């Protein structure tokens, strides 16, 4: 960056204006207490005013009543104003109370101010371990030579075998307290950085949504050209590096198996004795609960794009229908006006209708239909040679029963795979019941079929034998 770029940032960037503001200590300290400290987003106006009133009361008690004379609501309005843009003020669907969230620029300032205080303990070993892990994954997963990859896998297996043997011999290496604290600090920092990334991704999607609204309001071309422009902008966001990594994180977080594994690891991390006295240990077990609302809010911003395009089409159709009706009414009015006093001379000229001439010999000759003779002789069959048991061995798969099984499992979880449903309610009608579950998944708007993952199902036949089937992973979600 050169001198002119830095000078432009100094004059126009919201974060720089926060640092230059007279009440910057008040704003930054309040942002830490209300947002970044407890990792909260999407706070209501009244709740935020109560938080700020508590902060102002403590400051006025120590510094005097004339230090911050204005009420808390005025400070919030000032910080959320477009010329400040330190807070984002918006309305959630179906709610009348405004909501607030930190902007990306204000969050960057908060992190920078917190870094000025310094740290009593700096994580170095965990960062080095993370660098090695990422570097190994980068090199190994990019290797195209199969011999090299097999040799690396063999080396890893030898190391695992040696570690297992040392554990069998009683030589168990446990992480020391400084090492555990080092990794915990690294984990907490990465979790906070991830929430900050969500704000930036959501801001980019909001910019795209704002551009779509501006295009719809000022567009003079055809619907096809406007939709093409909108889809191109949305595709640019989705296909960018940021969009692809966010979608990958969403798919990872929505996997039931990976979510269960993550929750188990976080719970076990809180039980480590070396970290029992750590203040931030209670927040480790709730990391995934902080991610879900942030990701869902980002996804809601993406869904607004589809709503805007649908609203555009509805408005266009309404305007076109209105114009057609106006033309029809004008034609009817003109016709009624000329009925009593028709104009002299030729009123309207219509081209004479033409007659299609078809010569008689161009028509095909009559061809009588041919009669097909059918041998309808009936032979009497011997009932002793006919096995009629198949006619009475039919059964019916009740889809309502299967749907009730799915609802019963989803009553205790937000989503469940078909394997989890069949574990709770075993298959009793074999492959036909599996096909019925598959049909329910294709017809439901709250079910997802993941062709990249597979799941195994099994059932027992009346003779006691076991049958197994491997199908694509089916995930049922609880309807909103």
The domain ranges of the chain are: 3-116, 198-335, 396-477
Pull the structure tokens for residue 273: 């004795």
- Low-confidence winner among 266-275, 280-289, 355-364, 405-414 (lowest mean pLDDT): 280-289
Direct distance between the N- and C-terminal alpha carbons of the chain, in angstroms, rounded to an integer: 48
Give pLDDT, residue 368.
83
How far is residue 181's CA from residue 280's CA, in Å, rounded to a whole number? 11
Residue closest to 55 by CA, chosen among 22, 31, 78: 31
How far is residue 66's CA from residue 57's CA, in Å, rounded to a whole number? 12
Residues 220-259 have pLDDT tens digits of 777 677 677 666 666 665 665 556 666 666 676 667 777 7
- Contact criterion met (CB below 8 Å) for 414 and 477: yes
Show the DSSP H helices in 240-351 as ranges: 241-254, 256-269, 281-284, 287-339
Distance of alpha carbon 112 from the chain centroid? 30
Sheet containing strand 415-417, strands side by side? 415-417, 466-477, 447-460
Give pLDDT, residue 396.
82
Q: Higher-confidence residue: 361 or 386?
A: 361
What dotted CATH number matches 3-116? 1.10.10
Backbone angles phi, psi at 61, to 5 degrees: -65, -30
Give pLDDT, residue 35.
85
Q: Using the structure block, give the residue that is written with the tokens 């400084």.
A: 178
Classified as helix, coil or strand, 434 is helix
Strand runs labelled E in 328-434: 415-417
- Low-confidence winner among 177-186, 391-400, 413-422 (lowest mean pLDDT): 177-186
The sign of the CA dihedral 166, 171, 172, 175 is negative
Give the orientation angle of helix 177-218 with respect to helix 104-116, to 10 degrees: 150
Q: In this prediction, what percent of the chain has a pLDDT beyond 70? A: 72
- Contact criterion met (CB below 8 Å) for 237 and 205: yes
For residue 309, pLDDT over 70 is answered with: no
Q: Higher-confidence residue: 23 or 314?
A: 23
Residues 82-138 have pLDDT tens digits of 888 899 888 877 788 898 988 888 888 888 888 787 655 555 555 566 666 767 777
Classified as helix, coil or strand, 467 is strand
Q: Higher-confidence residue: 187 or 6?
A: 6
Show the DSSP H helices in 340-383 as ranges: none
Q: How many residues does the chain have?
A: 480
Sheet containing strand 98-102, strands side by side? 43-44, 98-102, 87-91
Pull the structure tokens for residue 355: 């007659």
Fill in the DSSP letter of residue 464: S
Give pLDDT, residue 261.
73
């Amino acid at each position: 960056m050169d001198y002119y770029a830095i000078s432009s940032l100094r004059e126009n960037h919201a974060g720089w204006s926060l640092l230059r503001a007279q009440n910057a200590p008040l704003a930054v300290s309040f942002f830490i207490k209300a947002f970044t400290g407890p990792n909260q987003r999407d706070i209501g106006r009244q709740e935020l005013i109560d938080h700020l009133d508590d902060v102002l009361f403590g400051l006025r008690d120590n510094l005097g009543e004339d230090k911050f004379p204005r009420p808390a609501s005025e400070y919030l309005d000032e910080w959320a104003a477009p010329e400040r843009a330190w807070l984002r003020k918006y309305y959630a669907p179906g709610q009348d109370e405004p909501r607030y969230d930190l902007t990306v620029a204000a969050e960057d300032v908060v992190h920078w101010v917190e870094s000025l205080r310094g740290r009593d303990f700096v994580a170095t070993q965990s960062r080095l371990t993370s660098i090695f892990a990422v570097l190994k994954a980068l090199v190994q997963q990019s290797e195209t030579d199969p011999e090299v990859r097999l040799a690396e896998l063999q080396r890893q297996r030898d190391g695992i075998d040696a570690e297992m043997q040392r554990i069998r011999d009683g030589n168990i290496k446990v992480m020391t307290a400084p090492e555990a604290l080092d990794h915990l600090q690294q984990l907490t920092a990465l979790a906070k950085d991830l929430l900050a990334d969500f704000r930036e991704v959501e801001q980019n999607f909001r910019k795209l949504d704002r551009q779509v609204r501006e295009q719809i309001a000022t567009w003079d071309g055809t619907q096809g050209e406007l939709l093409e422009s909108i889809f191109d902008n949305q595709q640019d966001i989705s296909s960018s590096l940021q969009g692809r990594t966010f979608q990958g994180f969403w798919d990872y977080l929505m996997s039931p198996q990976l979510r269960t594994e993550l929750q188990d690891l976080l719970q076990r991390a809180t039980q480590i004795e070396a970290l029992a006295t750590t203040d931030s240990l209670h927040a480790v077990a709730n990391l995934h609960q902080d991610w879900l609302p942030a990701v869902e809010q980002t996804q809601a911003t993406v869904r607004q794009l589809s709503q805007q395009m649908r609203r555009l089409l509805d408005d266009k159709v309404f305007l076109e229908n209105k114009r057609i009706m106006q033309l029809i009414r004008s034609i009817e009015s003109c016709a009624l006006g000329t009925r009593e006093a028709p104009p002299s001379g030729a009123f309207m000229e219509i081209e004479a209708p033409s007659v299609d001439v078809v010569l008689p010999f161009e028509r095909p000759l009559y061809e009588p239909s041919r009669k097909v003779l059918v041998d309808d002789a009936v032979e009497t069959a011997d009932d002793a040679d006919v096995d009629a048991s198949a006619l009475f061995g039919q059964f019916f798969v009740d889809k309502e029963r299967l749907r009730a099984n799915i609802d019963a499992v989803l009553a205790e979880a937000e989503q469940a795979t078909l394997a989890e449903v069949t574990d709770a309610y075993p298959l009793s009608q074999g492959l036909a019941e599996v096909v019925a579950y598959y049909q329910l998944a294709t017809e439901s708007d709250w079910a997802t079929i993941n062709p990249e993952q597979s799941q195994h199902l099994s059932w027992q036949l009346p003779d006691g034998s076991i049958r197994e089937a491997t199908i694509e992973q089916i995930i049922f979600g609880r309807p909103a």
